[in-house]
Structure 1
Amino acid sequence: MPVSTVSIPVGQWLVSAEGTRWWFDSGSFALDFAYTGTLGGDAAREGFHAPDDLTAWLHERFPVAVGAARSRDLFDAIALRDAIWRMAVASAHGEPARSADIDLVNLYAATPDIPPALIGGSRQAGRSVQTVGQALSTIARDAVDLFDPANTGRIRECNGADCAMVYLDTSRAATRRWCSMQRCGNRAKVRAHRARKAERAA
């Protein structure tokens, strides 16, 4: 499983409109966070309906204890998440990001994040439970890395004809074309096979 710059495992299980569960490696922890949202207006994909939903996601993804989210935290999380999503789509289309979205990511990235720590020590350094604000800062800092000029051209939209999934291509040769080989990549193979079969039959 790939690991992001914040040393948090990247990727998550998603459910398609047909009800199929599939693994999506977005290539970035910040993008994983963006995929908890409505993704361009699809209200059925909203993952944060209440503060408890945000708390559950943070507890699942962060290797350290994060406190319970409040209503204000939920508002902040959705604002940050949606800014990251808009920036990712703009980048995938070769368009500039909105300055307001850049400012928002920079604002959260400038606040204290969850500090890295080695496991196995006998003493606790700092607080034992991190705040939701620190978690959002960690996500924002990963977004800063995601949108670094070094990744220009690597934030892409899936080549599937009916798919708009956006991912960071972390492959060495920068040749990734699909959101998932098990999903759109496999569909493309099936279509190509059928086309070749039809040509031979003609």
Structure 2
Amino acid sequence: MEPPASPGIPMRSFSGSTYRFDPGALCLELLTTGGPGEFRRFEVLHAPDDLVAWAERSRLTPTPALRVAEAEVADARRLRDALFRVTTARALDEPAPSEDVAVLNEAAARPPLTPVIGPDGARGWAGTADGTRLLATVAHDAVELLTGPYAHRIRMCAADNCALLYVDTSRPGRRRWCSMEHCGNRHKVRTLRARRSAEG
């Protein structure tokens, strides 16, 4: 199965327009499903099918045939909220809460999904693909990101009303927006309007 032509998670803005957000890491894609505190209102992980639907939108291709239990959905929300706080702390150059690091390490200690090469040469998955293995894969990805060469490149979108996190993999390290077609474009429009207003 070929990866999607346009990378990233499909998102919908407050105005109803759609755009794609590529955070640069599987673990950060999970953060688009909601979050702790004020971000609870964006929650989309309510049932097993919701976690399966997220996996199908993620960069985890081909999507394994997942069997997700109700308890694993609660585990997904717990991992996501801990990951949100840990990566936000890294983006702000602050210490991560130790209890959230413990949640991340607990998930990473479990066996992840195991990739295999199929008879046709395409990638597949070995063993049982359940919610716990899916979350372990996300946690492994988070550990790699947070301890790897791009740990210092975890950023939060510069827009005032956007808290999406991403890895800045641009060569100069100057990415400011979650998506140029969303927050970046809105900033350009506001800047242009302000300039025209000043000139007029």
TM > 0.5 fold call:
yes
Give the superposition deviation at 1:99.
Answer: 0.9
**Which residue number in structure 1 is paired with residue 35 of structure 2?**
38
Is structure 2 residue 158 aligned with structure 1 residue 155?
A: no
Task: Identify, as 1 or 2, the structure richer in strand.
Answer: 2
Q: Is the 8 A contact 2:110 2:133 kept in 1?
A: yes
Instruction: State how 1:103-142 maps to structure 2 within 5 Å.
Output: 103-119=102-118, 120=120, 126-127=126-127, 129-142=128-141
Q: Is the 8 A contact 2:72 2:132 kept in 1?
A: yes
Match of 1:72, as an amino acid?
A
Q: Distance in 2 between matches of 1:105 and 1:139?
A: 9
**Which residue number in structure 2 is paired with residue 99 of structure 1?**
98
Q: Distance in 2 between matches of 1:72 and 1:95?
A: 31
- Compared CA separation, residues 180 and 58, structure 1 to 2 (3 A): closer
Q: Is the 8 A contact 1:59 1:66 kept in 2?
A: no
**Which residue number in structure 1 is paired with residue 49 of structure 2?**
52
Match of 1:49, as an amino acid?
H
Structure 1: 5+ residue runs without aligned partners?
4-8
Secondary structure at the aligned position of 2:33 is classed as coil
**Which residue number in structure 2 is paired with residue 19 of structure 1?**
16
Q: Distance in 2 between matches of 1:117 and 1:26?
A: 25
Give the superposition deviation at 1:12.
Answer: 0.6
Secondary structure at the aligned position of 1:23 is classed as strand
Give the superposition deviation at 1:189.
Answer: 1.4
Match of 2:31, as an amino acid?
A
Give the superposition deviation at 1:67.
Answer: 3.1
Q: Is the 8 A contact 1:10 1:27 kept in 2?
A: no
**Which residue number in structure 1 is paired with residue 143 of structure 2?**
144
Match of 1:50, as an amino acid?
A
Q: Is the 8 A contact 2:9 2:20 kept in 1?
A: yes
Secondary structure at the aligned position of 1:35 is classed as helix
Structure 2: 5+ residue runs without aligned partners?
none
Q: TM-score, normalised by structure 2?
A: 0.84
Q: Compute the RMSD of aligned alpha carbons.
A: 2.5
Q: TM-score, normalised by structure 1?
A: 0.83
Secondary structure at the aligned position of 1:156 is classed as strand
Q: Is the 8 A contact 2:35 2:43 kept in 1?
A: yes
Q: Is the 8 A contact 2:34 2:41 kept in 1?
A: no
- Compared CA separation, residues 155 and 40, structure 1 to 2 (3 A): farther
Q: Is the 8 A contact 1:26 1:168 kept in 2?
A: yes
The C-alpha deviation readout for 1:115-137, integer Å capped at 9, x for no partner, is: 12223259x9952x422211111
Q: Is the 8 A contact 1:66 1:135 kept in 2?
A: no
Secondary structure at the aligned position of 2:186 is classed as helix
Q: Is the 8 A contact 1:65 1:130 kept in 2?
A: yes
Give the superposition deviation at 1:152.
Answer: 3.8
